[in-house]
Structure formats: C-alpha cells, structure tokens
Amino acid sequence: MTETASMQTTLQDITTRLKDKPGALLPILHEIQNALGYIPKDSITFIASELNLSRAEVHGVISFYHYFRESAPGHHTIHLCRAESCQAMGSKKLEAHVKNRLGIDFHETTPDGKFSLEPVYCLGLCSCSPAMQIDSEVFGRVSAETFDRSLVEIGA
Amino acid sequence: MAITVYISCDSGALALGAERIAQAVSREAHQRGIDIRLIRNGSRGLFWLEPLVEVQTDQSRIAYGPVQGHDVSGLFDSGFLNGSPHPLFLGLTEELPFFKKQQRLTFARVGLTDPVSLEDYLAHDGYRGLHNALTISGADIVRQVTDSGLRGRGGAAFPTGIKWNTVLNAEADQKYIICNADEGDSGTFSDRMVMEGDPFVLIEGMTIAGIAVGATQGYIYLRVEYPHAHKALDTAIAKAYAAGYLGQNILGSDKTFDLEVRLGAGAYVCGEETSLMESLEGKRGLVRFKPPLPAISGLFGKPTIVNNVISLASVPIILDKGGEYYRDFGMGRSRGTLPVQLAGNIKYPGLVELAFGLTLRELLYDFGGGSASGRPIKAVQVGGPLGAYLPESQFDTPLDYEAFAAIWAVVGHGGIVVFDDTVDMAEMARYSMEFCAIESCGKCTPCRIGSTRGMEVLDDIIKGRELNKNIPLLRDLCDTLLNGSLCALGGMTPYPVLSALNHFPLDFGLTDQADAA
Ligand SMILES: Cc1cc2nc3c(=O)[nH]c(=O)nc-3n(C[C@H](O)[C@H](O)[C@H](O)COP(=O)(O)O)c2cc1C
Ligand code: SF4
Ligand code: FES
Ligand code: FES
C-alpha cells in the first residue's frame, strides 16, 4: 500500500469508529495525532466532511490547541517545563542549555529529524522541578548533565 | 510467604527513577531466589525521599529512600526485607513526621493501596459512600454535601452543595457530571496524585454526584500532559464497569451512570469550566458568557455539574462518615481539609493534607524545611499562575479562603511555589503577562492584547527605561485586565503582577514602596 493510501485507511478507521460520539472532533484529532504523529493538512477536508463541519472550523480547532500539530515532529519530542515551580529551580538555565545542545528553539525540530522541542506549562512534577518529558517518559530534577545523559540513553 | 514490597508508580516517583528501581529490586530478588510481591502503589507524597521503597513487616511498613540503582544490592545484603538497618533506613513510614502530622481524608488511601485494585479499594473503606448514597434520596445526598461545608477545590471555592442543588432542581431529559481534571495550575499536582494513586475514589465521587442529581453520563476532562493518570483511570473505570459499579443498575439498583475520560490538548484556558465544555463539545475553547450557569445550561445545553478532582474525590468520605464529620475539620468558612502541594525551591517538597487553618510559615518551615538551596525564602506564589506572590511579612496568614482574600491573594488549588532570594520579581511579573498572552482564548481585547502590551512595558521596566511613565502604565493595564476580562485568566493576571510590584519594588528599579504607587 502507498503511504497516502495507508494514511487514508488510518483516517477512515479512526473517524468511522469515533464520529458518532458526542463532541467527536477532539477524540478524532487525538487518535490521528497518536497514529501519525501530527494532523496532516490533507486530512482536514476528509475530517470536515465526515463530521459535517467546514474546513475552517476543523482548522480553527487544530490551531487553537497547543498540543495539536500540523507538521511531522522529530523522532522524539522533548517537552520542557517553563512554569513557575521549575523556574524556581533553575529551568531557565536548563532551557538555555537544551536549546544550545540541540541547536534549536522551541517549536523547532533538529535538522536530522531526531528531536522536536516544545515548551510545556507544568507537568504536575513540581515536587521535582525542573521537569521534562521525552515522548512518554518523565524526568525530574533535571540538570544539564542528566539532560545530556538522557539523550544518550534514548540513542541520540 | 512472599514479602510485600511497595515502590510507587506515581509520575513524580517515576520522574526520579522509580521504574528502574522496581526493575532492579525484582531482578535482585529473583537472582537471590527470594520470593517477593512487588506492589506499585501511589506516592506517599514525600518526594525528596522518592524513589521510596517500603517493606511490609508485622509492625507496619518500613521505608528506605531515596533509593538509587546502586543501592539495591546493598539493601538486600543488609536484609531490608526484614526491616534491617541500612544508611537509607527511615523507620516506619507512618511515623515520619511529615506524614504523621497530616490529616488525610481525601488522600486516605493514596500510597497505601494498589491504585487499580478494586479489592484493595474495597478493603480500605472504598465504595461505602456509594452504598450509603443508594439508600437515601438525591436531595439527602446533596444535603450531606452541603452540610459538609465543602467548597470547590478547583480555584473559585464555590460551595459544592449549592451547585449540586441547582442541578438537582433543574428539569431536563439529560444531565451531566464533568470532572475538571485539567489541573493546569503550575505548582499543583494533587489531582494527578489522586488519579494515579486512587482513581476509584474519583470514580465513586462522580457516581455519587450522578445519582444525587439524576445525571447518567459523566466525563473526566483530563489534561493530555497526564498519560499515567489516563492509564490508571481507564483501567479503574473498566474494572468498575466489570464489577457493576458503573453502567446500568449500579449494585442492583435502578441507577445508571456511565463514565468516560476525554483528553484536553494543552490549552490552559480549557480548565475554565465553560471553555472546558466548549472543548468537550469538540470546539475551540472559547470562554462562554455567564449566565446561563453551567448548572442550568451546561454541556450540550444541559444542566451540568463541573467539579474539580479533589472536590469530587472528597465526596465519598462525606457520604461514608457524614457531612458533619468533614465539617468538623477546618476554620471559619473553610471547612474540611486541603491537600497542599509544596513545590519550587523547597527542601521537602510534597503533598500535605491538613485541615484549613495552618499558617504558610508552618507549611514552609515545619513541613517544607525552608528552601532547597538553603538561601532565605523571598517569595511564595500560592494558588497557581494567577495567584499573588506573598512576601515574608505575610507568611503568618492562615490557609483559609477569607484570610487570603483579605490580603488580595488566593488559596486556589492549594499549590505553593517557593522562591529563594535569587529570584527577580520583575522577571516573574513579565512571565505572568507572557503566560496570559500565550494562553488567552482571545475573546477579550484586554486579555489578548493587553497581556502582550504588559510584556513590552515590563521589558522596558526591566531595562530601567522611563519608570515614571511605565510603572503607572503597567498599573493602568492591570486595571483594564481586572475590569475588562470575561474570565480569571485575564482578570487575575494582575494578581501576580501587582503583588510582585507592590511587595518587591526594588526588583522593578524603584527605590522604595512609595515609588511603586
Ligand atoms: C483560566 C482558568 C483555568 C482554570 N483551570 C482549572 C483547572 O485546571 N482545574 C479546575 O478544577 N478548575 C479550574 N478552573 C476553575 C473552573 O472554572 C471551575 O471553577 C471549577 O472547575 C469548578 O469546580 P470546583 O467548584 O469543584 O472547584 C479554572 C478557571 C480559570 C478561569
Ligand atoms: S479573559 Fe482572556 S482567557 Fe478569559 S475569556 Fe477573556 S480573552 Fe478568554
Ligand atoms: S511547574 Fe514545572 S512541572 Fe509544574
Ligand atoms: S487593549 Fe490594551 S488593555 Fe485594552
């Protein structure tokens, strides 16, 4: 099957399964992003017609929520906490180190496609600030050294 | 017989390496041919000791911590499975002063039980509240909640019983119970700890709410940043269905209650209840005008209870022991207990559940042990990113909604973030404006545009430019936000900004308090 065809099958499966739920759009977008890593621009027309919405409405929802993305992320996504508790424990210095080490700013992906860096406003790990999440794994009391080590551990 | 060992599966413990320790302990036991039963419990909330390893002895649980990978074989060598001494030996968990001094009602089971074991839940007084609720009328359930004096723990502190009563009396073919599990406030993690550490208590609380007001569908609106809570909730919900605690004919009664988790998508404003309902309906999270109240016309236009996780998780004990039991804790009009979260630059960060009335100073020093850095505490922010910054001179304020309101501060969701004297409060004020700009839903001009303007003004102030013009300009902007915002995101951003300015004028380049006026 071609890549576009398999994407179409994925979209079809997800929307068929979920579209009759009350308030189905967010659950559908979540599953698409789970499956594909992002919500392809090409999928918007399809989702809109399945849910009887306009393309503008679907696009409006995707762009409202920070979590949804319309471009493919890197192989790993790093969510770095910027909120107050982490700031109180030196997250600004950590943030500078992370950006420097990866050579990218927030909302960017490294040129080799390995890492995307996203800010997050609290991970609920404020009892071990500063905190971050790489994919689904959580890290507390992160220092420049432990950050570098975790990159090595996930095979960077 | 196998010895029972507890290692937490709470995200906070995992972030400090609990998974690795759990694997190492299993492996080591296996290699030594020792039979252990490893239970992944919630966290006791003593995070400076995580990963905490507890061993069940005939006395009670003995704790070791914080355990690192290289400690594991040594623990076995010294016989920790019999509770023997070791440099990481802490004694009986429940005798640790940080734990012993607490009054755990809502958190009674967190850290004690296997979070997703229904048998454990039942063995530790679980579902007693629901059993009682099924024997009385909806109005009587609501009366118990009203009598308890419980006020919403999500921020606004609105009396829960009054909200329920409005929904009870609303006529409709369909009503909803929504649990607000968006927990967007920085410095807070009590909702997460309950959902990961005792998900059944939330499910029971929501089921009681549904039965009380005649709502048959519940939604837990969970922030996407909490994947572990999501898994625990889904597992517990499936078990509750299988055992007849959810679905039709709950426990053989004629009551129905269905429950589903829905995920947010990283928008702070979706914690605001009307924005949350828009989001649940599949739309952008724009805040709605009130009235109508959600209790009259909420989700899909139907009468809806929206309550915070801790509010709902406090309901089972109220229905089990009675409203009066709960009301006997607390001070003034702040009844019951509050799970306080100590965060930021603090030596002993963690969860402290106590009756209202303790002072900030007691929490910061008696429980928290002062700053983590060992430097003086300069400021604390209470109640999340929209909460005021408090200077040392206000540390004797008791934790009480009215006492905080009297000093233009909020208790909110009970998060306390500590800063030592290296913090620059003008930078924190700037961050508050930036946060408002990033998270604004865009409906009101002051919030959408004023916050960006506030950032620029603070940039100028931080550079020391034209303070005589820019300080009054910042105050004007705050006035506009205070008075011209539809919700508390715009409406309360002035709390952290102005409290920083008023209490710490030096950080804004002013020589004294008078210049700040
Ligand atoms: C911007 C904003 C964010 C909010 N975030 C949350 C939240 O994450 N969790 C929560 O329970 N309440 C939050 N609230 C408060 C809710 O609007 C609402 O008051 C609460 O869910 C009601 O439940 P309670 O009465 O049990 O507190 C927020 C309010 C505002 C204005
Ligand atoms: S104050 Fe801000 S977040 Fe709240 S409704 Fe207005 S624009 Fe939206
Ligand atoms: S403020 Fe960073 S995890 Fe909560
Ligand atoms: S637009 Fe700036 S405060 Fe109204």
Instruction: Indicate the DSSP class of residue B151.
Output: B
Across B368-377, average pLDDT: 98
How many whole angstroms separate alpha carbon B398 and alpha carbon B333? Answer: 13
Contact (CB<8Å) B349/A30: no
Same domain, B277 and B137: yes
What's the pLDDT at A2?
A: 73
pLDDT tens readout for residues B141-190? 999 999 999 999 999 999 999 999 999 999 999 999 999 999 999 999 99
Give me B427's structure tokens: 């930078």
Same domain, B177 and B215: yes
Nearest to B262 among A27, A83, A126 (CB): A27
In a domain? residue B109: no
CA distance A36 to chain B (A): 16
Across B461-476, average pLDDT: 98
In this model, does residue B513 exceed pLDDT 60?
Answer: no
Same domain, B179 and B238: yes
In this model, does residue B239 exceed pLDDT 80?
Answer: yes
pLDDT tens readout for residues B49-83? 999 999 999 879 999 999 999 999 999 999 999 99
**Could you tell me the residue range of the domain that residue B136 belongs to?**
118-327
Contact (CB<8Å) B183/A87: no
| Coil, helix or strand at residue A78 | strand
Same domain, B319 and B335: no
Same domain, B178 and B266: yes
CA distance A2 to chain B (A): 30
Give me A106's structure tokens: 């927030």
If one counts the domains in chain B, the total is 4
Q: Measured from the CA of A84, which atom of ligand 3 is nearest?
A: 1
**Bridge pairing between strands B334-335 and B330-331:** antiparallel
Domain finish residue from B327, B362, B387: B327
Q: Look over chain B and give the mean of its residue pLDDT values, rounded to a whole number.
A: 97
Give me B104's structure tokens: 């755990």
Cβ–Cβ contact B497 with A under 8 A = no
Domain finish residue from B373, B397, B420: B420
In a domain? residue B360: yes
% of chain B residues with pLDDT over 90: 98
**CATH classification at residue B460:** 1.20.1440.230
Same domain, B242 and B322: yes
Same domain, B293 and B203: yes
Same domain, B95 and B155: no
CB atoms inside a 10 Å sphere around CB A105: 9
Contact (CB<8Å) B344/A124: no
Same domain, B298 and B363: no
What pTM, to 2 d.p., does this model score? Answer: 0.97
- For chain A, how many residues are written? 156
Cβ–Cβ contact B183 with A under 8 A = yes
- For chain B, how many residues are written? 517
In a domain? residue B258: yes
Same domain, B158 and B223: yes
Burial grade of B242 (CB within 10 A; 0-12, 13-18, 19 or more): exposed
Q: Measured from the CA of A123, which atom of ligand 3 is nearest?
A: 3
Same domain, B172 and B304: yes
In the structure, what pLDDT confidence band is assigned to residue B312 with cuts at 50, 70 and 90?
Answer: very high
CA B18 to chain centre: 22
In the structure, what pLDDT confidence band is assigned to residue B364 with cuts at 50, 70 and 90?
Answer: very high
Half-sphere exposure of B415 (CA within 13 A, CB side): 32
Nearest to B265 among A67, A125, A133 (CB): A67
Ligand at shortest distance from the CA of A142: 3
ipTM above 0.90, yes or no: yes
In the structure, what pLDDT confidence band is assigned to residue A6 with cuts at 50, 70 and 90?
Answer: confident
Beta bridge partners of B380: B390, B418
| Coil, helix or strand at residue B396 | coil
In a domain? residue B113: no
- Say how many Å lie between the CA of residue B17 and the centre of ligand 1: 31
- Say how many Å lie between the CA of residue B276 and the centre of ligand 2: 13
Q: Which of B431, B502, B499, B507 is nearest to B462 (CA)?
A: B507
- Say how many Å lie between the CA of residue B447 and the centre of ligand 2: 6
**Minimum Cα–Cα distance from A59: chain B residue:** B284
CB atoms inside a 10 Å sphere around CB B278: 22
What's the pLDDT at A61?
A: 98
Same domain, B322 and B363: no
How many whole angstroms separate alpha carbon B351 and alpha carbon B43? Answer: 9
In a domain? residue B108: no
- Say how many Å lie between the CA of residue B69 and the centre of ligand 1: 40
In this model, does residue B514 exceed pLDDT 60?
Answer: no
Contact (CB<8Å) B341/A68: no
Contact (CB<8Å) B284/A61: yes
How many whole angstroms separate alpha carbon B183 and alpha carbon B301? Answer: 24
